Chains A and B, each alone.
Chain A
Amino acid sequence: MTRTTSRAVGVAAMAIAIAASARVAAAGHHCHETSAVLGRRHCGGFGSSWATSALQGLAIGFMDSTFVAERLDVPAHVHIDSVETAAGAPAGSRTALVGDPGATLYGFRSGLFWRGDYLTLAFEATGEGGTGPAVLSTVDGHSVVSHPPAISAVFALTPGVHRRYGRVDLGAELAVGTRMLDYAPDLPAGFDRCTQGRACNVTVVSEGGAVVMPRVRVDYFVARQLTIGVSVGHAVIGDGDVVGISIAAHQAPYDGY
């Protein structure tokens, strides 16, 4: 597993753990109830046993999963890296895109989600992988062109609004976060960039940057606690056009609203 993917999984797991612990803390709060009568009880307030609670809008991890396909342009920066010849002598590599910088990546988005009556909020992590654009790597006058594997991780805070019409829920949201993009172009034969003791004939290019992406989405309640949906987004800062297909389980019918 790559460093970026490990990071993405780690953050997703952390989000799940935070949400789960909040839920457990709420459920396991030790309060010795002395009465069921309003005004005489010590625990739950008015409506606690029948009214919609904001906690009912929480969805955690795989309860709200989106499979994404994203088309993005890899930044056309030139990267200089230190590599080695087969004899172990240091050399410098120069890596640059050639041709179309576009890459199509596929992956998965999940995290911690909250849906209220009209507002939504998410802390989401997206991990994607695919084939990057053509890259030319040059070392000491030797060159090679490759289509390296690419991995993207996006972490975003995503506020939004939504409104339900019968079983159809329409929403708009704004993902604001950061993207880490790694790809590993081949090096010309005879050159290595050895990482952690592993021999390899690739170099690793890492790009990072802000992403601000408005998205619109349509979800359909196939059951009162289960939605499938489609979302599309276009980055206005950073790059990317994304299409997602979601499936989400809801704690309460229609999230309690």
Chain B
Amino acid sequence: MRVGVVVAAVAVGAAVAACAPPEYVATDMIEPRASLGCVDVSVVGAWPGESTGPVAVVDLGSLCERGVAIDLRALRAVGIRTSDDVVTRVPLVAYDPHGEMGVRTLGPGAHGSEWIEFHPADAIDSIDHLDVDAGAIVVGELPSAAHLVVDVPPHHPMTAADAR
């Protein structure tokens, strides 16, 4: 019985350890990216069918030896639209209907992404680029310029068939 318990416990421990995500390494992150001390951040533009505004896929990776407090409410985003050589910049606000955004800890070696939808103050039908300033998301650090400008793919609104 003792051997069985030992084997079972080791198996459970190994299974739990195996569930842990792999540690972040700098090569995991695509460009453009910015380094905020030991925190790497990159942004990819998207506009999924279910969203009514462009989405910034904010990728975070930690090279730190200690947890870092991250506040994504400090992201500043501007939509850029180019039409007939006229560049229009539209301030955007994050879509957070349930008030979930807040300060969270990015653990040592942690890596993951948050998909944040942005809405303009006035309705617009397209945005060509997103300019996301992530320079102030590390709590307790002095803000630095970290502008990440990315393309936004065309929007294809979700249809009833897609929803099914």
A257 pairs with B66, CB closer than 8 A: yes
Q: Tell me, in angstroms, the Cα distance from A211 to B109 when the chains sit together.
A: 39
Contact of A249 among B6, B13, B94 (CB under 8 A): B13
Q: Which residues of A contact B115 (CB under 8 A)?
A: 35-38
Given contacts A47-B104, A51-B106, A249-B17, are A38 and B111 in contact (CB under 8 A)? no
- B-contact bits for A1-40, CB 8 A (1 contact / 0 none): 1000000010011001001100100010000001111111
Q: Is the interface of A mostly helix, strand, loop or mixed?
A: mixed
Q: Which residues of B contact A1 (CB under 8 A)?
A: 1-2
B16 pairs with A58, CB closer than 8 A: yes
Given contacts A37-B55, A39-B97, A60-B13, are A50 and B114 in contact (CB under 8 A)? yes
Interface size on A, residues (CB 8 A): 44
**Is B31 part of the contact surface with A, judged by Cβ < 8 Å?**
no
Contact of A27 among B19, B50, B102 (CB under 8 A): B19
B110 pairs with A50, CB closer than 8 A: yes
Q: Which residues of A contact B66 (CB under 8 A)?
A: 164, 254, 257
Interface residues of A (CB under 8 A from B): 1, 9, 12-13, 16, 19-20, 23, 27, 34-40, 45-47, 49-52, 56, 58-63, 110, 117, 164, 166, 224-225, 249, 251-257
Q: Tell me, in angstroms, the Cα distance from A20 to B98 when the chains sit together.
A: 31
Interface residues of B (CB under 8 A from A): 1-2, 5-6, 8-10, 12-13, 15-17, 19-20, 23, 48, 50-51, 55, 60, 65-67, 70, 94-98, 100-102, 104-117
Q: Which residues of B contact A224 (CB under 8 A)?
A: 23, 108-109
Q: Tell me, in angstroms, the Cα distance from A36 to B57 when the chains sit together.
A: 9
Most chain B beta carbons < 10 A, residue from A1, A60, A166, A255? A60
B106 pairs with A12, CB closer than 8 A: no
Q: Tell me, in angstroms, the Cα distance from A254 to B65 when the chains sit together.
A: 8
B105 pairs with A63, CB closer than 8 A: no
Name the residue on B nearest A23 (C-beta): B16
Q: Which residues of A contact B114 (CB under 8 A)?
A: 38, 46-47, 49-50
How many A-B pairs with Cβ below 8 Å? 147
Q: Tell me, in angstroms, the Cα distance from A255 to B13 when the chains sit together.
A: 15
Distance from A70 Cβ to chain B, minimum over Cβ atoms (Å):
20
Q: Is the interface of B mostly helix, strand, loop or mixed?
A: mixed
Q: Tell me, in angstroms, the Cα distance from A164 to B106 when the chains sit together.
A: 16
Contact of A39 among B2, B10, B20, B98 (CB under 8 A): B98
A61 pairs with B9, CB closer than 8 A: yes
* Other 16 A-B pairs with CB < 8 A, given A37-B55, A50-B112: A13-B5, A20-B15, A38-B94, A39-B117, A47-B104, A51-B105, A52-B110, A58-B16, A60-B16, A110-B9, A166-B65, A249-B13, A249-B17, A253-B23, A254-B66, A255-B107
A16 pairs with B9, CB closer than 8 A: yes
B112 pairs with A40, CB closer than 8 A: no
